[in-house]
Amino acid sequence: MQSTDKPRVAVIGAGSWGTTFAKVLAEGGAETVVWARRPEVAREITETKRNSDYLPGINLPRTLTASTSLAAVLQGAQQVYVSVPSQTLRSNLEAIRELLPADVPVVSLMKGVEKATGLRMSEVLLQGLEIDQDRIAVASGPNLALEIARRQPTAAVVSSTSADTASAVAAVATNPYFRSFINTDVIGTEFGGVLKNLIAVAIGIVDGVGYGENTKASIITRGLAEMTEFAVSLGAQPSTLSGLAGLGDLIATCQSPLSRNNTAGRLLGQGYRFDEVVRQMNQTAEGLASVAPILELARANGVDMPIVGQVGEVLAGRLDPRNIAPHLTETDEPQGE
């Protein structure tokens, strides 16, 4: 049973997901402090209980505070949640490592792979923080930030190589509208969160082109098979990809206009170039940065990824978005398990 004492938790990153998860933690009873890079964001969260740049119209809990001082945020933290853009994670870790309280769990809220290395975010945390693997957890699932910030019910998966760590984190990351389940398949949980972004970009592309529900349903179905084959080849459990961190996240991300990856794909489908899409997006679409390293990992492991490959061709300007759909059924449909 969870202690009646309120745990103190730190959230590193004040973007839409970091702020939303801080709200989840605070409304679950944790004393929650957010690290914000920009002073004006920290001040707005602390003083007016808003983060209007990332969560317009959302009132934050009265108990939630923020600071630009990493030392102040991490001091006394019993759990640390990290939510920064995946490509900037490593550069933030040296400062965190020096201030990290001993023996506390560190939780990745990020859904990406490091472009230069192809490493998952938990692997970057392991390298950069130089801590025991059993202290690291990841949280993933059908988690569109604005819906959760509005207290719309949802669930997530907390995964760690240590079941005790996963349970401790899940107990804190649970409230009346947000339920955390646990597993120990970190590889599958993380890759589910990464790969669904790539399929969501494909869905956005065909939506931008003007294709309908049949095309999108075909991509989602074949995309899940593609995700599963890739993740299993790197050590994931197939059941993880059919759960919240795989299929659940895939459905939410592909269907919602709130999805940044879906939006990025839609702009590509409407004819915008990759650099134009990046300029138009005021938030990070992790899927765009993950395409190249995922395709490299797929090639290294002998996995065919026709959908993600076609997304890569569109991003590179070598494939007209209107021609993406005919290429999605080049592999045989499996005839059974």
The pLDDT score that the predictor gives to residue 2 is 41
- pLDDT per 10-residue tile (average), the chain, 337 residues: 71 97 98 98 98 96 98 98 94 95 97 91 97 98 94 97 98 98 98 93 93 92 95 97 95 85 90 85 72 94 94 92 71 49
Is residue 337 assigned to a domain? no
Q: Is residue 80 within 8 Å of residue 12, measured between CB atoms?
A: yes
277 and 173 within one domain: no
319 and 306 within one domain: yes
The pLDDT score that the predictor gives to residue 331 is 52
Q: Of 63, 68, 8, 7, whose CA–CA distance to 35 is shortest? A: 68
325 and 207 within one domain: yes
- The CATH code of the domain that includes 47 is 3.40.50.720
320 and 179 within one domain: no
212 and 177 within one domain: no
Is residue 203 assigned to a domain? yes
167 and 234 within one domain: no
Give how far the C-alpha of residue 6 lies from the chain's centroid of Cα atoms, to the nearest Å: 26
Catalytic residue check, 111: no
173 and 63 within one domain: yes
Is residue 78 assigned to a domain? yes
Q: Of 172, 155, 16, whose CA–CA distance to 104 is shortest? A: 172
- In degrees rounded to 5, what are phi and psi of residue 12? -95, 105
Domain of residue 231: give its range: 187-329
The pLDDT score that the predictor gives to residue 332 is 56
Q: Is residue 16 within 8 Å of residue 43, measured between CB atoms?
A: no
How many structural domains does the chain have?
Answer: 2
Task: Please identify, among 184, 210, 242, the residue that sits at the C-terminal boundary of a domain.
Answer: 184
205 and 120 within one domain: no
178 and 108 within one domain: yes
CA distance 257 to 137: 29
CA angle 97, 102, 106 (to 5 degrees): 65
CA distance 264 to 262: 5
The pLDDT score that the predictor gives to residue 281 is 73
264 and 120 within one domain: no
Q: Of 111, 89, 144, whose CA–CA distance to 263 is shortest? A: 144
67 and 207 within one domain: no
The pLDDT score that the predictor gives to residue 330 is 54
- Catalytic, out of 49, 111, 115, 196: 196
217 and 235 within one domain: yes
Is residue 335 assigned to a domain? no
Query: Which string of b and e fits 11-29 if b means at least 16 CB within 10 Å?
Result: bbbbbbbbbbbbbbbbbbb
Is residue 2 assigned to a domain? no
Surface-to-core class of residue 337, CB atoms within 10 Å of its CB (0-12 exposed, 13-18 middle, 19+ buried): exposed
The pLDDT score that the predictor gives to residue 259 is 83
